[in-house]
Structure formats: C-alpha cells, structure tokens
Amino acid sequence: MQDAYQTLIFPDVQQMLQEQDLPGLAAFCGVVHPAAVAEILEELDDSQVWTVLDQAADQLRVEIFEFISLRRQTELVESLDDARLSHLLEWMSADDRVDLLSRLPESRREGALRVIAQAERNEIRRLLSYDEDSAGAVMTTEYASLPASITVQDAISRLRLQAPNSETIYYVYILGEDRLLEGFISLRELILARPETRLSEIMQRDPIRVRATEPRTVAAQMLARYNFIAVPIVDDGDRLVGIVTHDDALDVVQEEATEDAYLQSAVAPLEDTYQETPLNVVLWKRGVWLLFLSVVALMNAHVIDHYRLSTTTEQATPVTTGLTSLILLFLPLVMASGGNAGSQSATLFIRMFALQHGDSRGGQGSSIDNSLVLREVLIGLCLGAGLALMDFTVAWLWFGRTVYESSVIAATVVTVVTLGTSAGTFFPLLFRRLGMDPAIMSNPLIAAMIDVLGVVLFYEIGTIVLG
Amino acid sequence: MQDAYQTLIFPDVQQMLQEQDLPGLAAFCGVVHPAAVAEILEELDDSQVWTVLDQAADQLRVEIFEFISLRRQTELVESLDDARLSHLLEWMSADDRVDLLSRLPESRREGALRVIAQAERNEIRRLLSYDEDSAGAVMTTEYASLPASITVQDAISRLRLQAPNSETIYYVYILGEDRLLEGFISLRELILARPETRLSEIMQRDPIRVRATEPRTVAAQMLARYNFIAVPIVDDGDRLVGIVTHDDALDVVQEEATEDAYLQSAVAPLEDTYQETPLNVVLWKRGVWLLFLSVVALMNAHVIDHYRLSTTTEQATPVTTGLTSLILLFLPLVMASGGNAGSQSATLFIRMFALQHGDSRGGQGSSIDNSLVLREVLIGLCLGAGLALMDFTVAWLWFGRTVYESSVIAATVVTVVTLGTSAGTFFPLLFRRLGMDPAIMSNPLIAAMIDVLGVVLFYEIGTIVLG
C-alpha cells in the first residue's frame, strides 16, 4: 500500500524538480514520512537529491538523510565541501553520524571534523574508536537522563527540554555522580506516578545494562529477551555512555542473519545489500570461496586417483585414460562447482527477498530488476571462467591429462557454473512469483539438480571433444 | 553478566523451594525481572514452577508466565483444570494468549473458553481465526486509543486509565466512528504540546497501517523501515483491530531468518527451538528432505548408467561390474547424503548459537549441552540407517547390483551420514570455542570435507567387502 502510494508520488516529484517548484518540494518533504521521502530520493541523482533536501529545514533534512542507505549517503556527501558536510554532521544523530564518518576516507573525515566544535568532536572520536561489531558502535549518545532526587513533576518538565536531543524519552536513566548508572524509569511509570513523588522512590534500581565493548549481538539479545525499547550501555566504570534502541536491535538482528546466511553458503559478508554491491566486489567475495572449495575438490580427485590405481582387483589394468576415468575423477569437482555457485545465487536472492520492504510474496514494492538477473548470469559466466581456468591448468599440469581432456573439464565447469547461478536465481524467483516461499528451493535441492546437469554435460561435451 | 547473576540466584530458589519458603519466593518474583524469573523457571519441574508462580500476584504471575517458552507453557497448563486455565488466560495479553490457545488440543481450548466471558471469548476466536503467518496473528488488541476532539490534557488523563490494559501508551491511535483509524499521536508529542491543544490539531493524519490479512513480515518490515515502536493493524474496512509492537517485530524477524536458514539447508521448519524439539520430530523434519534429495541423486546414478553404457568409444566393453563402476555410479549419492546431513547439522547449530541469549562467542549463558552433541550423533546414525536402507533396496532391485555391492553402498552411506552430522556439529562448536564466527564453517566447506571422506570410505569398505 505504501509502495503504491510511492509509485503515485514519484512522477510528481520529478515534475516539481523539472519545473524547479521549490515550495512544492518543501511541502513534499514536510508531509511525507522521512523514510518514504528517502526511498524516493534513492531513485534520483546527486544534484536532484540535494535540490530536494535543501528545501527542508535542518532538522527535517537530516531526518530524511538518515533514512537513505549508508552507501548512498557516502556518495551524496562527496559533492559537499567540508563546511556543509560538518553542518550536516552536527545535525545528525550520534550513531548515524559515526556510521557515515567511518565510511569516509581519512582526509575527508579529518577535514569535516576540524570544523566541528571541540566537545562534539571528542565524542565522535570516542564513538569511532569502538570495534565495528561492539555495542558501542551501534549505540547513540542521545539518551534522556535525570537525577534521582527530583520529583515526578519536575522530571516531566525536564524531559520536555531534553526531548529534542533524545532518541527516546520513553526510557529515562537515573544517573549519580560522574554519570554512574543508578536506576531506570519509564515515561509510562512517570505518567502514572503522583506528581510530588521523588524518582528515587519509584525508580528501578540496578537496571540491566550492557558494556560498550561487548558484542552488539548481546545488546540486541537483551532487547529481544526483555522486550525493552532501549538498553543502557555502560563503560568499564559502569558510567552510562549511550543506549541501543529497538530499531538498532532490529537492524543488528537482520544484519547478523544476513551475514550468517551468506557465510553458510560460502559468500564472504558484504558491506552493502547485494543489489548495491559493485560487480568486482561480488566476484571477489564469491570467487575466493569457490576457488578454495574447488581446491578441496581437486584434492578429492587426487584421492580418487590414488585409490583407482591401487584397486586393481577387478580388472587386469585399471582405467587410466578415456572419458570414464576423467568423469570418475573430476565429476565431484564439476558437481561441487555448479552446486556451490548455484547455492550462492539462491541464498543471495532469497535473502534479498527477505530484506525487501513490503510483501515478500511479490508485492508492488518488491519487483526484482531484470538487470539484476542478467547481472547474475554474467557473474556466473565470470566465476565459471575463473574456475575453469584453474581446473584446466591443474588437470593438465598436475594430473597429466591431455589438453583435450583438460578442455572438456574446463568447458563443463564454465557451463555448469553459469547454469548453476542461473538456476539459483530462476527457481527462487519462480517460487516467489507462484506465491510460495522461495526458500523452499534449498541449496541442496539446487545442488542436486545441478548434479544431474553436470553428469549430462560432462558426458555430452566429453563425447563431442574426445569421441 | 545477567547470566552470571542468574547462576548465583538459582541455588537460592532451589533452597527456598525445598524449605517451602513461600515469602522468599514471593520476594524473588517481585524483585527479579520477569524475563529472568522465567528463565530460572525453565530449569524447574511443573509443580515447582506453579509453587513459585502462585506466590506472585495475578498480574505479575502472568507477566512471568508470558516470558516462558511456548512449548513449556503448553506443558505447564496441562496440570491446570479449566477454571484455573481460564483465569490465567483472562490475565494474559491478547497475542500471547492466542499463541498458547492455538497450541492446545481442541477439547482443552473449548473447555477453557467456555468459562471466559462472552465478549472476551469472541475476541479470542477472532484472533484465532487469522492465518498463522499473518499480521493479525502476531498483533495485540491492547492498544491505546483516543478520540480526536479532546485536549492534550484530557488525553494524558485518559491514557493513565488505559495504561494498565495497553501494551504500550507511547503510541496512541485516534479513532473515529466505528473504530475507523483517523490519526496517530505519540506520547512524546503529547508531552511536548500545550495542554489545551486539541488532538485533531496536532495528530498525524492517515498514518501508515498494515492490513491484518497481510503477511506478518510486512508489519515487521514497516517497523524496521520507519523505526516505529508499533504499527497499527486494520481490517478490510480500515477499522483499527490491533497493533504489532517492536518486540513482536524482533521475534518475527528472528523466526523468519531461522525458518529461511533451515529451509535453505533442507530442514523443514520447526515449531520450537532445535533443542526443545523431540527426537522423532527432528528425524522426520530432516529425514523427509534427505530422502527426497537421495531420490534425486539416485536418478542421477540412472543418468550416469545410461551414459556409461552408451559411451563405448574408448573400450570394447564398458565397465559394468566391479568397484569402479559402483563408485562411478553411486559416489554422487554418497557425497550428497553425507554433505546434506552435515549441512543440516551445521545450520541447526549455527542458528542455535545465533539465537542464544548473551555472548554468541561462548559466554556463560550459552553453554551447549554435551547431551545435545550426543543426540546429534544419534540422529546421524538414524538418518544414515534410513537412507542406507532405501539405497540398498534401490541398488539391489532397481540397478540389479549384487547383495554385496548393495551392502557396500549402504554401509558407506550410514558411515558418511553419521560422520557428516558429527562434523557439522563439531566444527561450528570448535570455531566458536576458538572465538571465531562458527558460520565460517559453511555448508559447502563441510560438504567438501565429507566428499573426500566419502571417497576414502567407499573405496575402503568396497575393498573389504568385495576385494
């Protein structure tokens, strides 16, 4: 529904941009939810994005900007000078700001930081120092805090003042001297309490907390376990340094699940979504694993070779040449190459569907670009060619196969890998189109189908070249 | 840290139970967070759990109960009579109540519902009618709502009254006639607004909403996309019927990621965690896929057989008997069986680590029971035996192999599958113990190792039996 709404509004934005209707763009930023504005902006080029964003006030501009994907954010700020960049950074929330800065080249980062006020600069540097996977790296420093001695009435007045600079005012942390975390109270409890009550009487003491150096997954699991909106993050001295909020926890859980799914299918983790990742990076992140797995499969061929030559009980002379021996030795390699490449594609596409906004069963907002499918076939061709080259060399030089025999292996591998990636793309897409769960096209099932294909191709190509 | 705390408190609870120190147990329920109490209760038997829970007041008892896993909840209510069960249900929140009821046998459900007041019973039946994967099935009906015409001051007073029966009062929905969703306002905005302002002046009109019949993933993605605490769920007439809150979204995302990971490794989705699932269910959910994949691999053997017999260019008579021909035909089957079973185990364990509370890198709270590893080996044996039986029968009757040859295949498959599941369990455990990401032990890597093992075993067993 939201996506239909967006499809309706996009042409209007384009028209306003063409006609330079600045008041119209300002109204668009003000009325539509910042997340929805950000998604429309993803479709525009850099200068158009800035034209739209410049029509929004500082606060709103940054809110929209923070909903744009990190990769796109990084591209967008390239065209800003240091002064404009630091102005943007000053308005951004602490966690999003650090994410963006950690993506920028060193020189750019220092240039922007130089213009920012000393105190804020120190805080940014401190946040930048946390390990990427730590709770400290996902927390925000914009929490609401109060002393224990004040009354509920005063607390609510003070929260009004803190609201503009707090990520949430629904959870309030009670701090002692030197920001020591003493207690916790929710806005719900404040609203329900009698106005003259002191916070020390109703606050929850010794609240659950996570250390900034602990893995970010710990913070996410705490939120999941206790159904919190936020969890306090402390330093080694138990001083409050930030909070991790429910939306950060959701991001962490999604990212970790994606990373695990990729690793499990032998794809090195990607920084951005699969769609956003450039071709050369994809080839590297997938290829390095496929090459490694092919080396293991070639060791396997070596083991078969060893046994084959030593098992001569049944025949006077073992099969040492010809297509049958070639297939006996290298069929596992061919099958593994095709199956693994296909599994990678299937996992990448199934995960892409899972992360998409809107209906996972093929709603309007979740159309997969045809160019993405074509890219996948191209990736299969490149990966297959790379593997074939290695297999050819090893079969020829190491196993002492003829050039023709080695060519049969190479030709089969490149074909099987290309068809494997195509099948790994096609079947999940088909199942999704049919309204079924695309994940049913499991990696072993795709591998099993590729196995049959591998046998057929190996024999057919072998017969043509050698027969 | 929380887990260390729990380890400390558990012996105290046991002692209080032994000494029947009821006031002590009441204090324990009152002081410790309900989620932490629930986790300690998971370690106790049914009657002990009820002894502890009976010391807490109705509201608190249900809060603790709701943090207990659904599987355990179902077991616990077995010992309750209909009156006590319906009393418990009346206090439970709408979404947790429906989850529990949907797990109970028909007769039990009807018995408990009969005692519940008409209006509430109708609501429960309505919620029970939503499809399991729909937004309606995860929503709660306990939302805060107000009319547009009242002032901010009145709104806050009314929220105080609604608070005890609302899952959240941070998001308030503005309803028109017949519960039509007209607007939305956050408690933050209410706190910041002038007391005499009318809600109609400051509310956000036409808020983002999800239909109850849409998939639950749509609601979760809306929360993730807009960083909401809750999203309103409407019926086909645009009337508000419930809300999905941030903690539900986190659960949905975790569950969907687990389901996809399982499916991708050819494990049919499980209702409970892997640890909780009984052996026979595990064998079925894994075995049915392994059998199916073996059938595909046997088709593959058929294809190889066809090509082998027709490719006679190189030799006067093709290899039709003996170990080499056996291996040529059935090695893909052996490799697939071992690799698939190993991938299943690896995925199940890696996902188990990811879902564990606390440190995913082997903190105190995340120890894996040795019995779980033993169970995995047993599962491997059972699965291997089942597959071996089928493979033996097909090789003997369909491919016309001798009993000895068929036995070689069966013996290899049972060994490879058992070793495969063991490797799929051992390597992720090892990597985790070493402080590395267990997901690096990808399914293709485990499969590649099992492939080598399969070749060695096939030749060795073949030589012993046939040689």
Q: Which parts of chain B register pLDDT below 50?
A: 1-2, 313-320, 358-366
Given this model, what pLDDT does residue A311 score?
A: 60
Asked if A217's CB is within 8 angstroms of B455's CB, the reply is no
B452 contacts in chain A (CB < 8 Å): 296, 299-300, 303
Q: Check if the beta carbon of residue B29 is closer than 8 Å to that of residue B56.
A: yes
pLDDT in tens, B173-192: 999 999 999 999 999 999 99
Count of A-B CB contacts under 8 Å: 298
Residue A200 falls within a domain, yes or no? Answer: yes
Q: Which residues pair with B204 in a beta bridge?
A: B184
**ipTM of this complex:** 0.85
Residues B70 and B170 placed together within one structural domain of the fold = no
Same domain, yes or no: B104 and B186: no
Identify from A442, A457, A464 which residue to disrupt to test chain B contact, counting B C-beta atoms within 10 A and taking the largest count: A442
Chain B residue with minimum CA distance to A69: B225
Which pLDDT score is estimated for B358? 47
Contact check, Cβ <8 Å, B452/A299: yes
Q: How many CB atoms lie within 10 A of CB B433?
A: 12
B293 and B435: one domain?
yes
Strands (DSSP E) found in A13-143:
none
- A175 in a structural domain: yes
Per DSSP, helices labelled H in B167-266 are 187-192, 199-202, 216-226, 246-264
Q: Distance between CA atoms of A228 and A87, rounded to whole angstroms?
A: 33
CB contact under 8 A, A452 and B303: yes
Q: How many residues does chain A have?
A: 467
Rounded mean pLDDT, A141-164: 92
Q: Does A241 lie in the same domain as A273? A: no
B267: left (phi over 0), alpha (psi -120 to 50) or beta: beta
Cα–Cα distance for residue pair A257/B257, rounded to 1 Å: 6
On average, the pLDDT of chain A sits at 88
Residue B257 forms part of a structural domain: no
- Give the model's pLDDT for residue A198: 95
Q: Would you call A264 and B308 a contact, using CB atoms and an 8 Å cutoff?
A: no
**Do A122 and A157 belong together in one domain?**
no
**Does A168 reside within a domain?**
yes
The verdict on a CB contact (< 8 Å) between B443 and A170 is: no
Residue found under tokens 């749509």: B218
A353-398 confidence digits (pLDDT tens): 888 754 433 444 445 678 888 999 999 999 999 999 999 999 999 8
Q: Confirm whether A350 is domain-assigned.
A: yes
Last residue of a domain, one of B180, B212, B245: B245
pLDDT of residue A361: 38
Q: Looking at beta carbons, which residues of chain B come within 8 Å of A238?
A: none
Residue at B8 is within a domain: yes
Calpha distance B222→A358 (Å, rounded): 7
For residue A187, which residues of chain B lie inside 8 Å, CB to CB? 170, 187, 191
At A6, the pLDDT band (50, 70, 90 cuts) reads low
Q: For residues A387 and A322, state if they share a domain.
A: yes
Cα(A149)–Cα(A200) distance, rounded to whole angstroms?
6
Average pLDDT estimate for A87-115: 88
- Domain boundary among the residues A98, A130, A162 is at A130
Nearest-neighbour CA in chain A from B118: distance (Å)? 30
Asked whether residue B105 falls in the same domain as residue B227, the answer is no
Closest by Cβ to B163, choosing from A192, A246, A247: A192
B332 vs A contacts (CB less than 8 Å): 331-332, 335, 451, 455
Q: Kindly state whether residues B118 and B169 are assigned to the same domain.
A: no
Residues B113 and B174 reside in one and the same domain: no
Domain boundaries, position A76: 2-130
Q: What is the pLDDT of residue B355?
A: 84
**pLDDT tier for residue A347 given thresholds of 50, 70 and 90:** very high
Which residues are within 8 A (CB) of A121 and not within 5 positions of it... i.e. 6 or more apart?
A113
User: What one-letter code names the amino acid at B278?
Assistant: P
Q: Which of A68, A153, A225 to mutate to test the interface with B (most CBs of B within 10 A)?
A: A225
Which residues on B lie below 8 Å from A324 (Cβ)?
Answer: 308, 311, 314-315, 318-319, 328
Residues of A in contact with B347 (CB under 8 A): 264
Look at B347 and A191 and tell me if their CB atoms are within 8 Å.
no
Q: Are residues A198 and A282 in the same domain?
A: no
| Domain CATH code at residue B343 | 1.10.357.20
Q: Is residue B438 part of a domain?
A: yes
Same domain, A198 and A52: no
- Percent pLDDT > 90 in chain A is 52
Residue A226: is its pLDDT beyond 80?
yes
Distance from CA of B71 to the nearest CA of A (A): 16
| Total domains present in chain A | 3
Average pLDDT over residues A347-357: 85
The pLDDT value given to residue B321: 56
Please tell me the distance in Å from A240's CA to the nearest CA on chain B: 16
CA distances A255 to A250, A252, B253, Å, are: 9, 5, 11
Q: Which residue among B83, B107, B132 closes a domain?
A: B132
Q: What are the Cα distances from residue A273, in Å, to A277, A352, B49, B249? A: 6, 8, 46, 21
Cβ contact B163–A356 (<8 Å):
no
Q: What pLDDT, on the 0 to 100 scale, is given for residue B306?
A: 84
CATH number at residue B166: 3.10.580.10
A159:B191 CB<8 A: yes
Tokens of A91: 């308005």
A324 with B323: Cβ contact below 8 A: no
Rg of chain A taking only CA atoms, in angstroms: 29
The DSSP bridge partners found for residue B232 are B243
- Of A27 and B317, the structure prediction assigns the larger pLDDT to A27
Q: Are B170 and B190 in contact (CB under 8 A)?
A: no
* B452 with A303: Cβ contact below 8 A: yes
Please tell me the distance in Å from A15's CA to the nearest CA on chain B. 24
Which CATH number covers residue B48? 1.25.60.10
Does one domain contain both A310 and A163?
no
Residue A3, pLDDT score? 56
pLDDT in tens, A267-313: 988 888 888 899 999 999 999 999 999 998 898 888 888 887 776 54
Cα–Cα distance for residue pair B71/B74, rounded to 1 Å: 5
Mutant choice from A250, A456, A459 vs B, greatest count of B C-beta within 10 A: A250
Q: Hey, what are A371's tokens?
A: 């160019």
Nearest to A418 by CA among A448, A452, A460, A374: A374
Q: What is the pLDDT of residue B314?
A: 46
A423 belongs to a structural domain:
yes
Quote the pLDDT of residue A314: 46
